[in-house]
Amino acid sequence: MARIPRSVVPGVPAHHIQRGNNRQAIFIDDLDRRVYRELLIVGTQQFGCAVHAWVFMANHVHLLITPLRADGLGRLTQWMGAKYVRWFNQRHGRTGTLWEGRFRSSVITSARYFLTCSRYIDQNPVRAGLCTSPGQFPWSSYACLALGHPDTLVTEHAEYCSLGASAPLRRAAYRDLCDPQVDDATLTYVRQVFRRGERL
């Protein structure tokens, strides 16, 4: 069976998800997350990718990411797989694959959908029942985008910057955007778009 092409367009943001094989944990504790994050910072610089929103869940990762070249996201994912999986396996005394097949992504060309996707990513821990508000979860971009905490992993996108003329206004607008839970219709829509690999 032919492989379904992955949606990657240079200079255009994409919603990128990578899951643990059979939904197994890819992070056992915060040290795993710290190592993954540091590797991701190095990798995005090396392969020309900009991360605009992110969350590290126990068994999967969401990134809102813009590759600057056609092979950037693929090479980043391959490099992260080699570096992080080797470290994870050695630390936890395991062997074999960690990830569920190839990475999946959906290209985003709509301004409105970009912010919907960013909100969807930062609210992931709330939907999973890990916290009651996104600011309580330390492993996402919410602290940077909504509260102004420094984050060398995050590159502000033009759509985020359009939320306000100053940093405090942008943060307040993003907090307002993330305050209500993503409604069921929007949640279903985001998941359907991602499954179909549509460009929005």
60 lies in some domain: yes
- Average pLDDT along the chain: 89
Residue 192 has pLDDT above 80, yes or no: no
118 lies in some domain: yes
Our count of domains for the chain comes to 1
Q: What is the pTM of this model?
A: 0.89
5 lies in some domain: no
Range of the domain at 127: 14-196
77 lies in some domain: yes
9 lies in some domain: no
3 lies in some domain: no
Q: Whole-angstrom Cα distance, residue 182 to residue 153?
A: 25
- Residue 64: CATH number of its domain: 3.30.70.1290
pLDDT category of residue 4 using cuts at 50, 70 and 90: very low
pLDDT score for 196: 57
23 lies in some domain: yes
7 lies in some domain: no
Q: Could you read off the pLDDT of 36-50 as tens digits, one per residue?
A: 999 999 999 999 999
List 50's β-bridge partners, or say none: 66
Q: Could you read off the pLDDT of 111-150 as tens digits, one per residue?
A: 888 999 999 999 999 999 999 999 999 999 999 999 999 9
